[in-house]
Amino acid sequence: MTQNIKIMMLGGVRENGKNMYAVQVDDEIFIMDAGLKYPDSSMLGIDVVIPDLDFFREYGDRIAGIFLTHGHDDAIGALPYILRDHDIPVFGSKLTVELAKIAVQRENKRRKNNLFHVIDADTEIDFKNASVSFFKTTHSLPDSLGIDISTKEGEIVYTGDFKFDPSAKEGYRTDFVRLSEISQKGVLALLSDSTNAEAVFPNDRQSSIENYILNTFNNQEGRIIVASKASNIVRIQEIFHAAAKTGRHVYLTGRDIGKIVYTAMKLGYLDVPKDLLVHSKDLKKIPDNELVILETGRMGEPLKSLQKMATNRHRLIKIKKGDLVFIATTPSHSVETMVAQTSDMIYRAGGTVKQLGRERHTSGHATGRDLQILIDTMKPKFLIPAIGEYRLLELHKNLAVEVGMDPKDIYLTKNGDVLKLEKDRFYLSDPVPGEDTMIDGSGVGDVGNIVLRDREVLSDDGVFIAAVTIDRKKKKIVSEPLVSTRGFVYIKTNHELMNGAVDAIKEAIANNFEHKRFDWTELKQDVRNSVEKFLYKQTGRRPVVLPVVMEVNQNRHRAMVKRNEQNKAKEEIREKNSRPSRTRVSNSTHSKNRRPRKKINNNQQNSKNNLAQKKA
């Protein structure tokens, strides 16, 4: 009997980050990675973006588990928000699980450690309809794993982030023997990393990168400020080795770097020489030529922290003349402009900038040649390019065709697509939730495209506020309209424009009273349209117009005024009656007129009490 197999694209295709894919085998769903992505410049005010959480509300009872390939944010960043409302088992290598716990604790105080399960490359988990096993891959984190879901119809393989590097050290090496074993079982579908598909040159060997960093440290006389991602363990290890060999100490600054470094040290993934790390209190004691500052920034992104250092807004570090800022991470295309702006700020502050990615071909992702080697090794029946923007998916497809795959067997998908296996081929089926869930502060999903559009308009042309009070029974404006603006024009130098807007408000209200039956919504809309047209005609700009229309009832107002006057008169009479007499009375006279106090001794009081009891 054939199995009901679906492959669901929940995030990570046609975009950079937010990786999450699902495989359904009969009534069980297996989630592979649960990541986030950082917003681009159009997402004003958004902190991070995660996959659509509606999927878990609709299909949560079928999910067998979440299986993680590595511990970067693009693979684990959505976990804190998923585990808030859903108790789903999470599986990953030892380091990946620890990094996932840190991410969950950072965003969610209700930490659910009982949901996490540590696995390794030798683990195989049997479920009702399929089994899940793993294989070692090479990435910038140790113990990164690929995932193999074994079904009756064949193997479904997800690589996660990977590359090939024969010189990789223990803990970072790809298990080619295991890849061959999976291939012999028959690979039904391969979901493969496309992030670096357009790379023409091969990645430099890890040993070459180590030597380059060491030479950089040797040739610098002043302080070295290294910008890197907190979870890039291989890069952090290379920085520690270079600092130790050049007689420098390392100070860690950033929101997560301390937790990640000490976790990796505890698990044996980082080799840190004794006395290499220093505290903030020791910074003034250490000469500049003996100090390395490792900056990772909030959520592992160091660029904004570098900008604060360059503009003297960082709480501890200020870039000064003689400093070298060494950007040891390869930024994505979406932040290249920000890198250029940051570099400009650093030079203005007196420092210099050196970028690892400019002088060395370094990436944690497979080049085009690596992707072709993987396809040739795995020999998949169907290829589904994943993890990358659309042009990269297309390039991945072309690379597969070059090594002999039929273009009909390669599927370019988008988020929300579902590929269903029918009659030995995959066909598009009913989609699943695949929209972005935007995180703004503590809000999850409460900011949508409409709010973002309003923010964009506000950032472009500002806001114009029109307030007016009316009496709808008498159909007239009670008081002169008040107008104000923010981010549109400077009011003090634009009196004519403001007065013209006031006239437009009056005209819109008068026309509404004269020609329409009164309706609050229509009245506000008329005011908004009239002001928008006027402002655009005068300035060519379209600010957000917010009409504030208030109502006053004149009869009720007069009654209230009359009642207040009466209350005031009563209060004055009461105050007049309560005033003390102005006639002076001597002490002796006052004593004579005062009634004498009765003094009762205890015996008299007791006699009265007894008499009262007898009468009772």
Cα 579 from Cα 566, distance rounded (Å): 21
The C-alpha angle with vertex 407 and arms to 402 and 409, in degrees rounded to 5, equals 115
Per the annotation, does 515 bind a ligand?
no
Nearest one of 98, 73, 59, 428 to 262, comparing CA atoms: 98
361 is in an annotated binding site: yes
Cα–Cα dist 172/136, whole Å: 8
CA angle in degrees (0–180, nearest 5) for 274-241-262: 55
CA distance 234 to 244: 16
Instruction: Map tokens 């160091």 to a residue.
Output: 302
Amino acid at the residue 285: K
Residue 378, token pair as written in the block: 């795995």
3-state secondary structure of 182: helix
Q: Is 396 annotated as a binding residue?
A: no
Q: What's the Cα-to-Cα distance from 314 to each of 254, 306, 311, rounded to whole Å?
A: 11, 8, 8
**């290890």: which residue's tokens?**
237
Which burial class, exposed, middle or buried, applies to 580 when counting CB atoms under 10 A from its CB (0-12, 13-18, 19+)?
exposed
Q: What's the full length of the chain, in residues? A: 616
Distance CA 275, CA 251 (A): 11
Residue 336 host element (H or E): helix 336-348
Provide the Cα torsion 232, 327, 42, 50; round to 10°: 0
Nearest to 341 by CA among 10, 41, 26: 41
CA 430 → CA 12, 106, 420, distances in Å?
19, 36, 9
> Which residue, among 523, 525, 545, has the nearest Cα to 536 in the 3D structure?
545
User: What is the rounded (10 degree) CA torsion for 295, 299, 300, 302?
Assistant: -50
How many CB atoms are closer than 10 A to CB 320?
14
| Closest CA relative to residue 155, chosen from 122, 133, 125, 188 | 188
Task: Give the per-residue SS3 of 392-431.
Answer: HHHHHHHHHHHCCCCHHHECCCCCCCEEEEECCEEEECCC
Query: In 3-state terms, what secondary structure has residue 193?
Result: strand
Instruction: Determine what percent of the chain falls in helix, strand and coil, rounding each to the nearest 5.
Output: 40, 25, 35
Other beta carbons within 10 angstroms of residue 74's beta carbon come to 26
| Residues in binding site for substrate | 361-365
| Residues in binding site | 361-365
